Amino acid sequence: MQIVISLSQQLLRLLADDGALIRQYPVSTALKGVGEQKNSYCTPRGRHQIRAKIGAGAPLGTVFKGRRPTGEIWNAELHAAQPGRDWILTRILWLSGCEPGFNRLGNVDSMQRYIYLHGTPDSEPMGEPHSHGCIRLRNADIAELFDLVPVHTTVTLLEGDFA
């Protein structure tokens, strides 16, 4: 099983080992585009793996800060009270780059940049770039994906369209 994300199409595909499509979800990647540099707020490209799964069993809308649940559940009132907050909700799939010098180690390390697949408020747009570098999914979608994939699943971030 593997995950392939088209950054240009803002789509995530979960594929079986034989390449068959298992699931497809709209995503939202970085507003600032693609790039690997630390502090760039860009979504990295290339081959990654899921290094950690965080949030198993948490209710949909659980708010995370520093990869720990805050005790909050996202709602419109909480959102209105903190309009600039980067909401990391429901589940986290933490990515680690697999390509030294490109998305692993040094100033391009995806894991040290805290690049995740994670949930976001349902009020946020999908299918267009809006994140701070992570890959955002609808809460129900990240919860489903989280349950389907094991740690070490390959995640490939393509700059272009699916082949």
State pLDDT tens for residues 24-80. 999 999 999 999 999 999 999 999 999 999 999 999 999 999 999 999 999 999 999
**pLDDT of amino acid 6:** 98
Residue 159 domain flag: no
Q: Any bridge partners for residue 6, and if so which? A: 11, 158
Residue 7 domain flag: no
Q: What is the pTM of this model?
A: 0.95
69 C-beta neighbours (distance < 10 Å), count = 14
Compute the average pLDDT of residues 138-145. 98
What is the H or E stretch that residue 36 is in? none
Residue 88 domain flag: yes
**pLDDT of amino acid 83:** 85
122: left (phi over 0), alpha (psi -120 to 50) or beta: alpha
Rounded Cα gap, residues 44 and 46, in angstroms: 7
Residue 2 domain flag: no
Residue 118 domain flag: yes
**pLDDT of amino acid 77:** 94
Residue 147 has pLDDT above 80, yes or no: yes
Residue 66 domain flag: yes
Compute the average pLDDT of residues 2-21. 97
Residue 5 domain flag: no
DSSP three-state, residue 132: coil
- Number of structural domains, the chain? 1
Domain that holds residue 57: 27-43+50-150
Residue 56 domain flag: yes
Q: Which residues contact 162 (CB under 8 A, 6 or more apart)?
A: 4, 6, 9, 11, 13
For 106-136, the pLDDT digits (tens) are 999 999 999 999 999 988 999 999 999 999 9
**pLDDT of amino acid 162:** 87
**pLDDT of amino acid 163:** 74
DSSP three-state, residue 7: coil
